[in-house]
A and B are shown apart, each in its own frame.
Chain A
Amino acid sequence: MIPTDIPPPLDVDPARRIFGLETEFGLHLDSAAARAVTPEEVAGHLFHSVVQWGRSSNVFLTNGSRLYIDVGAHPEYATAECDTLTDLIAMDKAGERIVQDLVAGGEERLRAAGVEGEIHLYKNNTDSAGNSYGCHENYLVRRRADFKAFASALLPFLVTRQIATGAGCITRTPQGAHYSFSPRADHMWEGLSSATTRSRPMINTRDEPHANAELYRRMHVIVGDSTMAEPTTLLKVGATDLILRIMEARAVLPELALAREMQAIRDVAHDLTGKATVELEDGRRLTAVEVQQTYLDLVRSHLDGVIERTEEVDAILDLWQRGVDAVRTQDFTLVETELDWAIKHRLITRYRDRLGCDLADPRLARLELAFHDVSPERGLFAKLQAQGLVRRIVPEDAIVAAMSRAPETTRARLRGEFVTRALESGRDFTVDWVHLKIAGSSGTTVLLKDPFRSEDARVDALLDALATA
């Protein structure tokens, strides 16, 4: 008998937060016969092995994460719920390897269909025709009546954080090419909206907490770039979390509301000198460096108050400060092994010098794609890391473990265990972010509304039912 009592929500420390990252990968078939197959067909071949074991191209994995084909034939990987940044980075990096592991099988099926070629998967945000796809950050926040105002207050931070956490890119214009902080910035059209593909807001306000809706809401940030270097991901999510903690404590925030966010995000993106100013609602003009320094100082003022000082918080603040300093002083070596835009800038500059070409040269665009290629053989990023040119944070064995094992301290543990055991048993099952069900088992569905809860007697009973079936 499966207990049906839903346990009460856990009393959670305000500093504890659920994080998730969703990454849409660029899918590229490099083949003389590429025109013979549509992107949807390539995605279908890539996901053939997934459909074989999961009976769908939309599955939850034993590590609690979700893998599927999204709008536009993009393979997408959404990490399981994590409540630490190191778990999140491990889960995110594990996702790159999980999608890359599909490539050989996909190429084999294409070959059988008469298409000889290589499949490349890019963790980036734009293709060569200027289409954009995203990396979505999820932060579980406590529900409040003034969510829209709360979310709006985050916008000046999100508009300017790209000077530290942007992926960097070569921007090509009719006037020539230049290096920008963020490939995603030019694709933003609104501050807040509940639509995504139609309007592309910075924060999606669709109310979809995947949790107890009386207690929680999801802050769904879709303005960020996909990030390759572990320290960049740490800073992107870590700094945003620190700002959210201050906002959730209802502390006074600096007056930084922007007059025109869409103009501001573009102006900041295209000025590597950090001298471009953004206009505030109160008429002042500040540089992105000044805005980010204000947020950094704000966080420092709350250390050992709202924000408990930990080694990780210190590491985030140290990298954040060096990122801001790098732009202010134009000494990019301060972050050249840690922040994506600076790592890429160094790489592109060195290759450009080697070739003696200008920034618009297609060989540099080719280099950019190689940087974002998640293949350890064909991609460049893994080689940079192996050479010590990119700093790592998470041990290799933690990433390997995260490919099959869910985080231990969140609801993902329950889902991961369920998927693992259900696959072993050969029974049909259904699973999503909040539901677990064994098909045909008198219809019992376990509803998991508390993402912080990693132990649940109802799930134990489900696992027992699988073991005895």
Chain B
Amino acid sequence: MAQLNAQGQPYEDETPEPEAPAPASQASGDALDDLLAEIDGSLQVNAEQFVRSFVQKGGQ
């Protein structure tokens, strides 16, 4: 795991370099980043509690 600075963010030089996408998937890579940016806020709200609260009995 990357070391964190005082603000809880990874140190700049330890942030993994984004992979250089192949030219063909450049556009779709951008679309994916845009989508993740869009949903990022809602996914981060109480993520752990949200996931833990999903418990069902087993089915078949």
Contact = CB atoms under 8 A, between A and B. Distances in A.
A79 interface: no
B3 to A, nearest CB: 11
Contacts of A367: 43
Interface stretch (A3-11, A348-356, A458-466): A348-356
B10 A127 contact: no
B56 A366 contact: no
B32 A27 contact: no
Contact of B44 (A222, A363, A380, A389): A363
A366 B59 contact: no
A383 interface: yes
Contact of A347 (B9, B15, B16, B32): B32
A279 B16 CA distance: 38
A71 interface: yes
Interface size class of B (residues with CB under 8 A): 35 or more
Contact of B59 (A74, A362, A365, A383): A74
A73 interface: yes
A383 B35 contact: yes
B51 to A, nearest CB: 4
Contacts of B6: none
Contacts of A387: 28, 31-32, 34-35
B32 A370 contact: no
Interface in A350-388: 350-351, 353-354, 356-358, 362-363, 365-367, 369-370, 380, 383-384, 387-388
B57 A131 contact: yes
Contacts of A388: 28, 31
B13 interface: no
B55 A127 contact: yes
A168 B36 CA distance: 19
Interface of B: 1-2, 9-10, 15-16, 18, 22, 24-25, 28-29, 31-36, 38-40, 43-44, 47-48, 50-60
The 6 A-B pairs of least Cβ separation, nearest first, read A133-B59, A72-B57, A362-B48, A366-B47, A131-B58, A356-B10
